[in-house]
Structure 1
Amino acid sequence: MTDPATDVRNAGKGNPVGELPLRDLPGFAHRWVDADGVRLHVVEGGLPTGPTVVLLAGFPQTWWSWHEVMRGLAGRFHVLAVDLPGQGHSERPEGSYDTHTVAARVHAAVRALGTEAYWLAGHDIGAWVAFSLALAHESDLRGVALLDAGIPGITLPEAIPIDPERAWKTWHFAFHLVPDLPETLLAGREREYVGWFLKAKTLAPETFNDDELDHYAASVAADGGLRASLAYYRDAAESARRNHEALRRRHLALPVLGISSSHGSIPDMAASLSPWAPHATGVVVPDAGHFIPDEQPAAVTAALTAFFADGA
C-alpha cells in the first residue's frame, strides 16, 4: 500500500503548483494528499497525540493566513492547515467548486492522513466549505468555528447594497459572477487586486507586509488560480442550493462557534447561524477587520482554544 501523502522531501513529485515558492513554518511539514483524485496541500504540525484541528483559509489567501494561530495551537493540538482546491499549493481542477464538492475533498484529505474525528475552523470561503462539510460529515466533527463569512444561502445577504458605506464590502460577489470580464481585467494585475482586499478590509492596512502580498498574489496568478478563485463565487448558487437541501433534512446539532470582529463583514456570526445551528455561540474580536486570524491571531487562538476545551 502506498502512502497517500507526499512530504516536502518529495515535493517535486507531489506539488502541483511547483512555480509557487513554498513558505515554511518551523515545527510544521508540507504534505500533499490524494483527495478524490485531486492533490491537496496540507501543512501539518503541533502535538501529534493531541486533538486534531483542521483550518481552512479564504479568498484571496492560502494556508499561510493561519500561521500565527497555528503556532498558538501547536502546543495542545495536532494542526492541519489545508489549501482548498485552487488555493496555494493545491491542485486547480476543472469542474465544480460548489462547497459540498470541495468539502468532500477536504474531508477525504483529512481522513487520508489518518484522522477520524476533528475540530474544524474556516474563514471567509474556508467557512463556506466548513459549513457544508459539517452538514455532510457532522458525525466526524467535534465542532466547527466559522469566522466572518457570508456563507451562501446562510449568512450571505440576498442583495448587494448600493450604499457606498456598505457596498465596498460585498461588491466583488457580483463582479466575480460576470463571465470572462474579471479574467480580462485581472490577468497580470493580481497584485493590485489582492492588495486592495488585504488593505481595504483590515482595520490596520499595514497588517500585511509586501512579502505576504506577493505570496497571495502569486497564488492567485499561478496556473489556474484566478479561474479557481472566481469559481467559488460562480458556483455559490449551487452551494446555497445544496446547503438548503441538506438543512431540509436536519439542522446542525454539533457545537458551532461564530467569530465576528469589530469592523468585519458579518456583525454577529452566531445570530446569523442560529436558525440552522441551535447550539451556536459567538465571540466578537475587537480591533479587527475582515482578516481576523492575521489581525488578531492571539485573540483567535484564545477563542478557538476555549471552544475546543468546552467541547471536549
Structure 2
Amino acid sequence: MNDPASAPRIPGNPVRELPLPELTGFSHRWVDADGVRLHAVEGGRTDGPAVVLLAGFPQTWWAWRKVMPRLADRFHLIAVDLPGQGHSERPDISYDTHTVAAHVHAAVKALGVSTYWLVAHDIGAWVAFSLALTHQDRLRGLALLDAGVPGITLPDAIPTDPERAWKTWHFAFHLVPDLPETLLAGRERDYVGWFLRVKTLSPDTFDDAEIEHYAASVAADGGLHASLAYYRDAAESARKNHEALARQRLDLPVLGISSSHGSIPDMAASVRPWADHATGIVVPDAGHFIPDEQPGAVAAALTGFITEDAGQPSPT
C-alpha cells in the first residue's frame, strides 16, 4: 500500500485531516452532489463503458484498489466514497439508502456520465439497489457483492446461533442510540480491525497500514456517526425499497457475487424475486471482503458481465 501520510492534501477535500492514498493511473475528484460534496477516484479508458464502484462498511473507495487496475484497460472507472465515508463530506442528512443514492447519482452526473454500470459491496450494495430502483433508466447493469440489503436480502431476525450470529450481531449494536459512540470513540482501530480480520477467510488479508487507513476514515470528523447512521436508517431504507418495488421490478441485468465463506450464500437467488434478469457466481476461497481477497476473480466476473451484456467482444 502507498503511504497515505505522504499523499498531498488537495484543495476542496472536505476531510483534510485524513491522509489521501494514491492509485497509479487514477485521479481524485470532488463534486457537488445536490448539496453534499462527494469524493471520487477516476481513471481507465475514457471511451470505455462507465463503471461506478461503491464500497461498504468499514471501508472506503480504497476497497477497490486491487480490482481497478485490472479493469482499467477496458472501462472508464469511477470509485465513489459514499456520504460520510472516506474523503466525502459527513453531512447531517438521512442516511437511508434512497436519500444517499440520490446524492451518489448526482455525483456521477456531475462527473459527466449519463449511463453507467453500477458495482457495489456491503453497504455500497444497499445504496446501489435503491439507486437502481429510482434511476433504472440510467443504469446498464447492476452487480451486488455479498450484502444484506435492507428489506431484500437482509434477514428479518438476527440469528442467536453462535455459528452464525458473529456475521450479523453488529446490526443490532449499531442501532442502539449513543452507546456505540461511547464505546468506540478512540477505539476505532480495534473495532475496524475486528471486521477486517474476522470476516476474511485469511486473517492476514489486510495489513496494519490498511487497517489504520480504514480506522482513520471512521474516526475522522463525524465518520463514526455517519457509519452508524446507515444502520440506524435501515428500516427506512427497507420501507422505501418496498414502496418502490410496489411500482416496478428491476428489469436490468443483475449479477450477484457471493463467496465461499461470505454472509449471503447466493446473492442472485436473494434478489431474483425482485429482478427479472439476475445471474450469480460464487467466488471460492474468500470471505466477506471479496474485492480484497480475490480481486482477479472479481475483475474477471465483472468483465464478463459487462462485455456480455454490452455486446462487446469478450477478452481473449
How many Å separate the matches in 1 of 2:288 and 2:29? 28
Query: Which residue is 2:277 aligned to?
Result: 279
How many Å separate the matches in 2 of 1:89 and 1:154? 29
Which residues in structure 2 correspond to 1:148-187 (within 5 Å)? Answer: 148-187=146-185
Aligned counterpart for 1:301 among listed residues 292, 295, 299 = 299
Aligned counterpart for 2:66 among listed residues 68, 71, 74 = 68
Query: Which residue is 2:3 aligned to?
Result: none
How many Å separate the matches in 2 of 1:140 and 1:9? 34
Could you say if the C-alpha distance between residues 245 and 209 of structure 1 is closer, same or farther in structure 2, counting changes exceeding 3 Å? Answer: same
2:273 is paired with a residue whose SS is coil
Q: Which amino acid aligns with 1:11?
A: I
Residues 216-266 of structure 1, C-alpha deviation per residue, up to 9 Å, x if partnerless?
A: 000000010000000000000000000000000010000000000000000
How many Å separate the matches in 2 of 1:60 and 1:153? 21
How many Å separate the matches in 2 of 1:146 and 1:66? 14
Q: Return the offset for 1:144.
A: 0.3
2:204 is paired with a residue whose SS is helix
1:95 is paired with a residue whose SS is coil
Q: Return the offset for 1:193.
A: 0.1
Query: Which residue is 2:236 aligned to?
Result: 238
Q: Return the offset for 1:11.
A: 2.2
Q: Return the offset for 1:10.
A: 8.4
Q: Which amino acid aligns with 1:190?
A: E
Residues 278-305 of structure 1, C-alpha deviation per residue, up to 9 Å, x if partnerless?
A: 2100010000000000000000000000
1:85 is paired with a residue whose SS is coil
Count the aligned residue pairs: 304
2:32 is paired with a residue whose SS is strand
Confirm or deny: 8 A CA contact 2:36 2:103 kept in the other structure. yes
Structure 1 position 92 matched with structure 2 position 90? yes
Structure 1 position 32 matched with structure 2 position 65? no
Q: Return the offset for 1:311.
A: 1.0
Aligned counterpart for 1:57 among listed residues 55, 58, 69 = 55
How many Å separate the matches in 1 of 2:264 and 2:30? 33
How many Å separate the matches in 2 of 1:9 and 1:21? 8
Residues 173-230 of structure 1, C-alpha deviation per residue, up to 9 Å, x if partnerless?
A: 0000000000000000000000000000000010001000000000000010000000
How many Å separate the matches in 1 of 2:298 and 2:284? 11
Confirm or deny: 8 A CA contact 2:9 2:19 kept in the other structure. no
Which residues in structure 2 correspond to 1:1-312 (within 5 Å)? Answer: 11-12=10-11, 14-312=12-310
How many Å separate the matches in 1 of 2:60 and 2:71? 18
Q: Which amino acid aligns with 2:251?
A: A
1:44 is paired with a residue whose SS is strand
How many Å separate the matches in 2 of 1:66 and 1:109? 18
Structure 1 residue ranges without an equivalent (≥5)? 1-7
Could you say if the C-alpha distance between residues 211 and 108 of structure 1 is closer, same or farther in structure 2, counting changes exceeding 3 Å? Answer: same
1:42 is paired with a residue whose SS is strand
Q: Which amino acid aligns with 1:245?
A: E
Q: Return the offset for 1:9.
A: 8.4
Q: Which runs of 4+ in 1 moved over 3 A?
A: none
1:255 is paired with a residue whose SS is strand
How many Å separate the matches in 1 of 2:241 and 2:98? 8
Alpha carbon RMSD of aligned pairs, Å? Answer: 1.0
1:79 is paired with a residue whose SS is strand
2:238 is paired with a residue whose SS is helix
TM-score by length of 2: 0.95
Q: Which amino acid aligns with 1:74?
A: A
Structure 2 residue ranges without an equivalent (≥5)? 1-6, 311-316
Could you say if the C-alpha distance between residues 214 and 250 of structure 1 is closer, same or farther in structure 2, counting changes exceeding 3 Å? Answer: same
Q: Which amino acid aligns with 1:228?
A: A
Residues 19-45 of structure 1, C-alpha deviation per residue, up to 9 Å, x if partnerless?
A: 000000000000001001100000000
How many Å separate the matches in 1 of 2:8 and 2:45? 21
